[in-house]
Amino acid sequence: MKERAGPSGGEPPCYTLINFPSDVEQPSEMQLRNDLEKGDIKVKTEALKKVIFLILNGEKLPGLLMTVIRFLLPLQDHTIKKLLLIFWEIVPKTSPDGKLLHEMILVCDAYRKDLQHPNEFIRGSTLRFLCKLREPELLEPLMPAIRACLEHRHAYVRRNAILAIFTIYKNFDFLIPDAPEVVATVLEVEQDMATRRNSFLMLLQVDQKRALDYLSSCLDQIGNFGDILQLVIVELIYKVCHNSPSERTRFIRCIYNLLNSNSSAVRYEAAGTLVTLSTAPSAVKAAATCYIEIIVKESDNNVKLIVLERLAGLKEASTNDRVLEDLVMDILRILAAPDLEVRRKTLNLVLELLTSRTVTEAVIYLRKEVGRTHNSVEHDDTGKYRQLLVRTLHQCCVKFPDVAPSIIPVLTEFLSDTNELAASDVLLFMREAIQRFPHLTTIIIEKLLEVFPQMKSSKVLRSAIWILCEFSSSKEDIESVLTQIKACLDELPLTDSELRKAAGNESEESKDKTDNKPQEKSGASARLVTSDGTYATQSAFSMTQTKKKEDDIPSLRRFLIEGDFFIGAALSSSLAKMVRRLLVLNGSVPPAIKHKITAEAMYIMASVLRFGTSGIPTKAITSDDIDRIQLCIRVLGENNARVNSIYTEDCRKALALMLAEQAEFEATHSKTKKKKDVVVQPDDPIMFEQLISKNDMINGEDVFETSLSQAVGLNPKKDDTDFSSSKLSKVTQLTGFSDPVYAEAYINVNQFDIVLDVLLVNQTTDTLQNCTLELATRGELKLVERPQPIILGPSDFSNIRASIKVTSTENALIFGNIVYDVGGATSDRNVIMMNEIRIDIMDYILPASCTDVEFRQMWAEFEWENKVGVSTGIMDLHEYLQYLLKSTNMQCLTPEKALMGNCGFMAATLYAKSIFGEDALANLSIEKPVDTPNAPVSGHIRIRAKSQAMALSLGDKITLSQKKTITQSALAISAAARAAAAPAASTSSTAGED
């Protein structure tokens, strides 16, 4: 861990974090001294733990320092020795004037003996402890013992000795000026891989020339090294080639060899380094192939997702497209992973890389994958995976229509599935395909008619009826559709047939009862023995009677018996549309056949209507369905030119317009980033590599340092989702300008972590000792690291960092105070209360998109709803919508053309997703009187989410943003009133002077 100190150097490095339970009573210093002096080993161990807890929480126990030295330091117990390492790390080692305490000389002598201890664990632990010391006075007497550990027989001691020398040389090089030579000598003769790794890492940081010399001498042996050493070698090669591009040809072959390492981590780093150092197609192909092999072979889903993101990032360079397009079939191997998110990202990547050369093979592979899902065990992700496959094949057909005939037969198998997710997407695909590609009409209608009797879902059956009736134009197709519909309705009329069946079943059952009474006694039943030893009788005849009765009912008839007459209304409307098209457009059909088809359609509608009002179904037909069926019968009975135009032309035009709008909406809100065209001006200079200086060739930044800075929050990643325009927008003032200590905090939100960078300024002429920033949280926040006390001199300042973990999307608070002592004063500690820091929910919410079907499904599933009233000063509907989108980071799913016009009201659906995977839905319903232009917008916003915190937090954010608009509108009105009153006042004063 790097040392993090403020301008005054007040914040010491921290390596140890130990949780202190707040419900434990704190012991007194006298009690601790007594336990340390007179207790046995167990009591002393517990007392030392309590001392460590108290010191970590800011307590000063200077009186116990000598007690620990006298009574604990000479002990040989391993547990106490480990605890003492923590104690000497955290205990203050200097006096208030900055000089080393005299007692530390005794500690230094004790650790010199531990460095010569025969137990290798004690030696190694002591060496690791010395890496954390920052006092050269303590380290100087120990240097001979540390050097001697380099020749110890045990590798554990040697590798820790290298680390200790590395740290000491980096901080205080005057203590061991010949460290690079010493470590280079050890590296040449060392056999332990961990020790060689530590030695090579030190040379990489302090003397790259020696590291390069060693690497050059063993280039042929790198494949036999351990993975920990290979990782350091990859880092060295990157840094050398980054600083000296002329060295690339020297080490690029080494990177190629490391792509075949046995360690996945080494191969991953080598592939990333290879594409950074070279843009050649062979290098990109080798790196992409390595990424694919890692994804396929690794079992951890998190690793798969990380590497998959890196693989998808390769296509951002325009020169890599052709290389990745040739690897589409290799990328499809990732679909063998069981995780749904991995499969989704893989299919999205494949869709972006598909070309006319590879689409045929990819479709064949996806067809096999579809067949594999039918034979797999059904679980929750199986249906969703089928839906992903259907959507992928749908997109393939849209981009490459030539493959549609081979896909349609495979997709029709989903229509008989009980899962509606995949079947609904199949019908959406068929609707779009039959509209865009008329030559596919025959095969689509044929396949739909084949699978029509096996459809088990009302929604799927309803959509299939609409497609068949909308696009069946020939006499043969219309007759086939009518025949299939009548077969699914079974015997007509429905009412009479159901009454006959009910009467016939009743008579048969009564007859069976009388006929089978003697047979049951004679032996048609089986005698069974129950668990308690008694006998039970079971008849085989009664077991199969009801099951056979349910299976014999066709699907369409069964839905009507259950009371689903919406499908009856949809059937009537579709039949009316199909028959009107036959009567108007097809003049070659004889009138007798036209009358026959019309009569059959009207007969079906009348039968459904009468059956709905008969009282036989489970649920009675609604008045809306009655009106709709009656209207369809009337349309078939009359010949109205306007109605004929609506049924035969306008419906098809509306479908084409809707599909065009959907395509435009998807293109606008597509997640894929459009690649920028490379524009080269005629007068742009040509860069010759041989004529470029070394400094100019160092293009870009060090990826290792950049990734490390982003991980610790020092250099946050800038992307399109970063809504903070500057650091000033994230600064919060914590105390007033007149307080003794002025404090302000910069809030750095880094995905799941919040880093508070607090600036403390001493505005007094006194020295503030033990100045502590005490923080507490409310909500789904957890303080990870408690800030350490610091000393602020007169007019001095310091920066303190605090890390906070975020576990959920919720508006949360951070509050606390600043506590300090004044040097030389005898009064109690001083406390300054700080302002609250509100963590904005918008830092975790990102715009997202989903389909209408997914939105309605989530809207029905989510149980938490928050209804927020619209109270704003904005007077325009579209302006309020844009303001709401900007305030909530949500995305409007309603097409822009549907929101055009000025009708006085607006309804829109909004959607967003948090970085934790939580969905947020919103429905906006606002209005404004058309005849009152100065009236503000009114209405309400309904928010739905899976968690209560998400719904409430988003509602609070909307309410808070609306208050700002009211305040701004009031200020604007008052300013306009003052501006209007100013000319009137000047006119009256001029008249008075005249």
pLDDT digits (tens, 9 = 90+) for 165-178: 988 988 888 888 88
Q: Is the pLDDT of residue 982 over 50?
A: yes
pLDDT in tens, 61-97: 777 888 888 888 888 888 888 888 888 888 877 777 7
Q: Is the pLDDT of residue 810 over 50?
A: yes
Q: Give the confidence band of 724 by pLDDT, cuts at 50, 70, 90.
A: very low
Strand ranges, E, within 779-929: 781-783, 790-792, 797-806, 812-822, 830-833, 837-839, 845-847, 864-869, 891-892, 905-914, 919-927
pLDDT in tens, 442-480: 888 888 888 888 887 788 888 888 888 888 877 788 888
Q: Is the pLDDT of residue 287 over 70?
A: yes
pLDDT of residue 981: 61
Q: Is the pLDDT of residue 530 over 80?
A: no
Q: Report percent pLDDT > 90 for the chain.
A: 1
pLDDT of residue 553: 79
Q: Three-class SS of residue 327?
A: coil
Residues paired with residue 806 on neighbouring β-strands, in sequence order: 781
Residue 836: phi and psi, rounded to 5, are -75, 145
Q: Is the pLDDT of residue 699 over 50?
A: no
Q: What angle do CA 21, 23, 25 make, to 5 degrees?
A: 100
Q: What average pLDDT score do residues 611-635 get? A: 85
Q: Three-class SS of residue 759?
A: strand
Q: What average pLDDT score do residues 398-408 get? A: 79
Q: Is the pLDDT of residue 527 over 80?
A: no
Q: Could you give the CA distance from residue 736 to residue 757 in angstroms, rounded to a whole number?
A: 18
Q: Is the pLDDT of residue 526 over 50?
A: no
Q: Report percent pLDDT > 70 for the chain.
A: 79
Non-local CB neighbours of 639 within 8 Å, separated by 6+ positions: 583
Tokens of 124: 């190694």
Residues paired with residue 306 on neighbouring β-strands, in sequence order: none
Neighbours of 863 (CB within 10 A): 11
> Per residue in 551-581, is it b (16+ CB within 10 Å) or e — as a string?
eeeebbbbbbbeebbbbbbbbbbbbbbbbbb
Lowest pLDDT segment from 746-750, 831-835, 854-858? 746-750
pLDDT of residue 533: 54
Highest mean pLDDT among 4-8, 313-317, 339-343 belongs to 339-343
The backbone region for 943, taken as left when phi is positive above 0, alpha when psi lies in -120 to 50, beta otherwise, is beta
pLDDT of residue 2: 35
Q: Could you give the CA distance from residue 122 to residue 130 in angstroms, rounded to a whole number?
A: 12
Q: Could you give the CA distance from residue 388 to residue 431 in angstroms, rounded to a whole number?
A: 18
Q: Is the pLDDT of residue 715 over 60?
A: no
pLDDT in tens, 33-52: 888 888 888 888 888 888 88
Please, where are the H alpha helices in 698-767?
703-711
Q: Three-class SS of residue 731?
A: strand
Tokens of 636: 């078939």
User: Under a CB-based contact definition with an 8 Å cutoff, are residues 979 and 964 in contact?
Assistant: no
Tokens of 435: 């509209």
Q: What average pLDDT score do residues 975-988 get? A: 56
Q: Is the pLDDT of residue 150 over 60?
A: yes
Q: Three-class SS of residue 762?
A: strand
Q: Could you give the CA distance from residue 162 to residue 140 in angstroms, rounded to a whole number?
A: 16
Neighbours of 816 (CB within 10 A): 22
User: Under a CB-based contact definition with an 8 Å cutoff, are residues 944 and 925 in contact?
Assistant: no
pLDDT of residue 27: 77
pLDDT of residue 648: 76
DSSP H or E segment with residue 879 = helix 877-888
Q: Is the pLDDT of residue 560 over 80?
A: yes
pLDDT of residue 507: 41
pLDDT of residue 318: 61
Q: Is the pLDDT of residue 703 over 60?
A: no
Tell which wins on pLDDT, 489 or 841. 489
Strand ranges, E, within 712-826: 731-733, 741-750, 753-762, 768-778, 781-783, 790-792, 797-806, 812-822
User: Under a CB-based contact definition with an 8 Å cutoff, are residues 924 and 898 in contact?
Assistant: no
pLDDT of residue 742: 92
Q: What average pLDDT score do residues 870-875 get? A: 82
Q: Is the pLDDT of residue 989 over 80?
A: no
pLDDT of residue 842: 72
CA atoms within 13 Å, Cβ hemisphere of 764? 12
Q: Three-class SS of residue 775?
A: strand
Q: Is the peptide bond before 180 cis (omega within 30 degrees of 0)?
A: no
Tell which wins on pLDDT, 199 or 710. 199
Q: Is the pLDDT of residue 285 over 80?
A: yes
Please, where are the H alpha helices in 115-226?
120-130, 136-139, 143-149, 155-171, 179-189, 193-206, 208-217
Tell which wins on pLDDT, 182 or 415. 182
Q: What average pLDDT score do residues 681-699 get? A: 55
User: Under a CB-based contact definition with an 8 Å cutoff, are residues 584 and 562 in contact?
Assistant: no
Tell which wins on pLDDT, 128 or 662. 128
pLDDT of residue 809: 63
